[in-house]
Amino acid sequence: MNKSTSIFTVCLYVLFLGLAGCAKDSGNGPDEDLNDEQLETKILGKWEISNFPTELFPTADAGLRPQASISKNMLLAGRAGVVAEVGGVGTITAFIEFLPDDTYLVQDAAGNAFSGGYVVKSGQTITLTGIGSISDIVFSGSRLDFKLSLSISGTTQVLEITANKKPPIADNDRTDLLAQTWSLYSEEDHEGNIAFLDGEIEYDDDITIDQLKITFSKSGTYAIRYFLKGAVVRVETANWRWDPSNSDKLQYAWYNDAFSNDSSVTIIKLTTSELVVKETWKEDDGEEGYSIITLKR
């Protein structure tokens, strides 16, 4: 793949989610017996939603255009590079994911993503910062039903949602170390040049950022969140898994594309406070290029 498409530097406008209605089973009622602590535990994970409204928000393509990337590698180039290289997007699964650090990720069927904090207000209500709240929560095995109250750009609506929990990645010491939120510290290219993200930079010709955070979740989500002065200004999501044939590598895939060795990185260092990965690719002239990404907590 071309070096202009990478996974840790992404291009996507902070657009957002509309969740399509799907009626609940009439025989189920809200889980009124859940207390706050029980709901906080039970809601964790990635909940995939099959039916979203299609015209509530601009399509993902509106934000997919060439960017002045701060990275050269595939892992950091993101969806804009994917669209430029293959001429379009793959299939996309909408979801909402609740992370252990009290933040959530949500993505609509067009690939537009949003992130914020969440607060469990009672055993039946969760506030989603920036978009609204969910209520009337019903768990049934791996299925979750709830009402989503959206308040976006002055428009308020209530949608009934049915979602299914995605099975987590096998839990082990490596997953426990990796499945955190990391901050981009530096990138070194194959010529020895090192770039640091240590202040405000112009990104994609239309936003300024001063921090880039990368999350690997235990549900297999890879998320990039761009910040300015503590506020999220852009979000991008993909999928990740451990390379089944090499314990020192992880693979990533945009949209619902298949995993492959063509989209993988080698883990050089993984501790509780530092993650260093290396990605290689072929340059247009046939020479091999690489970059080394350092992330810290």
Instruction: In whole angstroms, give the CA distance from residue 145 to residue 143.
Output: 7
Calculate the dihedral angle through the C-alpha atoms of 151, 152, 154, 155, rounding to the nearest 10 degrees: -70
Nearest CA to 294 out of 206, 214, 219, 225 is that of 214
Candidates 3.30.160, 2.60.40, 2.40.128, 1.10.230; CATH matching 36-165: 2.40.128
Listing DSSP states for 242-260 in one string gives E-TT-TTEEEEESTTPPP-
Instruction: In whole angstroms, give the CA distance from residue 101 to residue 106.
Output: 15
When pLDDT is cut at 50, 70 and 90, the band that residue 81 belongs to is: very low
Nearest CA to 92 out of 50, 155, 127, 29 is that of 50
Backbone angles phi, psi at 221, to 5 degrees: -90, 135
Q: Which residues contact 253 (CB under 8 A, 6 or more apart)?
A: 238, 239, 240, 259, 260, 263
DSSP bridge pairs for 276 = 269, 294
Mean pLDDT of 161-172: 93
Mean pLDDT of 73-82: 49
Backbone angles phi, psi at 266, to 5 degrees: -95, 130
Place of tokens 């009672």: 122
**3-class secondary structure, 132:** strand
In one-letter notation, the amino acid at residue 21 is: G
> Can you give the residue ranges of every domain in the chain?
36-165, 173-296
For residue 166, give both structure tokens: 């995605």
Q: What is the DSSP letter of 28?
A: -
Is 204's pLDDT higher than 80?
no
Residue 150 belongs to what H/E stretch?
strand 143-152
* Reported pTM: 0.79
148 and 132 Cβ atoms separated by less than 8 Å = yes
Is 225's pLDDT higher than 70?
yes
For residue 37, give both structure tokens: 């602590």
For residue 217, give both structure tokens: 């979740």
pLDDT of residue 82: 41
**3-class secondary structure, 41:** helix
Cα angle 24-26-32, degrees, rounded to a multiple of 5? 80
pLDDT of residue 74: 53
pLDDT in tens, 1-43: 444 444 333 332 222 223 333 333 434 555 557 888 999 999 9
Which range is least confidently modeled, 63-67, 194-198, 210-214?
63-67
pLDDT in tens, 109-162: 878 888 999 999 877 899 999 889 999 999 999 999 999 998 877 778 888 999
36-165 shares its CATH topology with 173-296:
yes
Residues in the chain: 297
- pLDDT greater at residue 163 or residue 261: 163
Instruction: In whole angstroms, give the CA distance from residue 219 to residue 241.
Output: 9
Give the count of beta carbons closer than 10 Å to the beta carbon of residue 248: 12
Architecture of the 173-296 domain: Beta Barrel (2.40)
Separation in Å, CA 245 to CA 180, 242, 249, 251, 260:
23, 9, 9, 11, 11
